[in-house]
Structure 1
């Protein structure tokens, strides 16, 4: 999601940890390939162990330079591939998730990068799709989609997915990633809708006449889009919590979405980022307390007095129950996934 703002001075550039080790001065978009299979990492027979699984490592491009298995680039920035030998017992269920992205960006264009929380949420979606039918045929919305990574993984099993964000550069990149992945991940592009959703505007968004040939009309919502989106039962968001102002706008949008149409659940992944605060004279996770103020846990909701119960109720998902499927990232200890539901009866009259 774009952070908004901007000025005449050159904006500070930020870089996702997913891309550490990549050449930071390239101005063009890069392509990274993330590999996964139906068997999580560390499972019996997986080739990350003793190699008995016999599967081939499908190397990532320079965009995954932070990965232990990542490939290198030469002095000209060209890809240097290094493949493991495939033996006769090699497994055939490996998939590539190919993401076009920026290596660095300004704060208002952080959606052009890949962030760890998106990879974690994609692992969650993969786990559900490999072990249950929970997401089969669902209509879903990815809010603040960035590169669209989570929506692309979900598109393998969903009936319809709306990938939403703000800004032509981010939406163009989302659409490119849909085109890149549809054949490799075997989903129908027609069921993936890339649409602009500006959190500063009320839901529903303005209705226009969709025209893929006209860049100014390409990401408009039709009346049918809005009707179908309100039938969504699942919302996804990853790494959208980094500014209090944007957190306010995000939850305002989410509450409007969740109060419209079918009952919905939100799965939100974030990474707690710590900085020293002069106000607190301590190292704190900026914005985390503000984020938590928008919903109560089930225990907090139960103990709140009648008439003062929050409308959003959240449960933190135990990451020990979410195996890692995507190889090219390290989770670390500061990632979280929350399952958040809406209780309309608690809204103030």
Structure 2
């Protein structure tokens, strides 16, 4: 998804301000009427949450929302507020309540956005995919030491977690404001999550231009050149073995562009697997006189489904093969969201030979 944000609290200019505004359920606890950027702190540990899915002993499941102040892209001077906008006083915790494996993921984001800038926000599917990456890192070495790419990264949430174990992580999206916000989140989290910022690469990837992206000279001081790719970075990215994408399925046109980009990327260099999380979104259709998830149906048309027995349906376009991951096998680690029934996680491969698994 596209995302935007800067230290000024700007949300996309005059044109975007006139557009219809949307809000993620993840941000429902934000103070009503508060504009600009926020910082939310999402908490996790190596021990998954209990059966209720939202509490780990103290019954708490609410995100701590912090109003970001202008003038700094680092940790802002801030005051914590609850969902009613009241101040949250910092109280000293007893030592027995402090968990040694307790971690905080700090994300700068918008509270509302236009449809063109939905990546300003944190969405449920990104938190689901983050849980999946955490689970892999806690229970296996599958993601250790790999080169990975997050496509349509928005706030960069998933890539930040993968950076804890990756050799190299490319965070990609479109637009300077979007990528500036990703970079701000890298700076906010590198110390707490203990990853090397040098292993992190924030780059622009416009799906309309597909893969490979234009090569240029990166100049951090020039916003128009700040996120250009070098030839060596493109070569390194093509050696990636894992791709991540969350909440990129919400427009048929963008879905077309997304799969075109992924196809070219997965056809280059090393063999890759795409882990994609989404939330099915329903709209009323005049053609069908019913509430349907048309965007979801279009997404499913791009790949053949592989079932547990190895059988594939034969109704889809060649090349992509997808297998749905059972969410019951992925414990919840992030406290500050409820999954709901419309979230899905897919493992998608691309092969030139349809007979290959």
TM-score per shorter chain, which class?
A: 0.7 to 0.9
Equivalences for 1:203-242 in 2 at 5 Å?
A: 203-242=211-250
Relative distance call for 1:202 and 1:57 in structure 2 (3 A) is closer
* 8 A contact 2:29–2:62 mirrored in 1: no
Instruction: Describe how 1:260-299 pairs up with structure 2 within 5 A.
Output: 260-299=268-307
Q: Is the 8 A contact 2:24 2:121 kept in 1?
A: yes
1:338 corresponds to which of 341, 346, 350: 346
User: Which residue number in structure 1 is paired with residue 206 of structure 2?
Assistant: 198
Task: Give 5+ residue unaligned stretches, structure 2.
Answer: 4-13, 68-79
Aligned-residue offset at 1:277: 1.4
Q: CA deviation at 1:14?
A: 0.6
1:60 to 64, 74, 77: 64
- How far does residue 10 in structure 1 lie from its aligned partner after superposition? 1.2
Shift of 1:263: 0.2
How far 1:281 moved relative to its partner?
A: 1.0
How far did 1:73 drift?
A: 6.2
Within 1, Cα distance between the matches of 2:184 and 2:126? 18
Who is 2:163 aligned against? 155
Structure 1 residue runs without a partner (length 5+): 64-69
Identify which range, 23-32 or 331-340, moves more after superposition: 23-32
- Counterpart of 1:67? none
CA-CA distance at 1:82 after TM superposition: 5.9
Contact 2:324 / 2:346 at 8 angstroms: preserved in 1? yes
Q: Which residue of 2 aligns with 1:72?
A: 82
Describe the shift of the 1:47–1:209 C-alpha distance in structure 2 as closer, same or farther (beyond 3 A).
same
RMSD: 2.8
1:123 aligns with 2:131: yes
Deviation at 1:2, TM superposition (A): 3.4
- Confirm or deny: 8 A CA contact 1:117 1:270 kept in the other structure: yes
Q: SS state of the match for residue 178, structure 1?
A: helix
Kept in 2: contact 1:62–1:73 (CA 8 A): no
**How far is 1:210 from its partner?**
1.2
Q: Is the 8 A contact 2:44 2:333 kept in 1?
A: yes
The answer (yes or no) to whether the contact 1:301–1:313 under 8 Å persists in 2 is: no
Residue of structure 1 equivalent to 2:2: 2
Per the TM alignment, residue 23 of structure 1 is displaced from its structure 2 partner at its CA by 2.9
CA offset digits 1:143-196 (Å, max 9, x no partner): 000000000010000010000000111111000000000001000001110000
Q: How much does 1:95 deviate?
A: 0.6
Residues paired across the two proteins, number: 330
CA positional deviation for 1:279: 1.3
The 3-state SS of whatever aligns with 1:48 is coil
CA distance in 2, matches of 1:293, 1:73: 40
Shift of 1:205: 0.5
| TM-score when normalising by structure 2 | 0.85
Deviation for aligned residue 1:80: 1.7
Distance, in Å, in 1 between the alignment partners of 2:261 and 2:62 is 39
TM-score if structure 1 supplies the norm length? 0.87
1:315 equivalent in alignment to 2:331: no
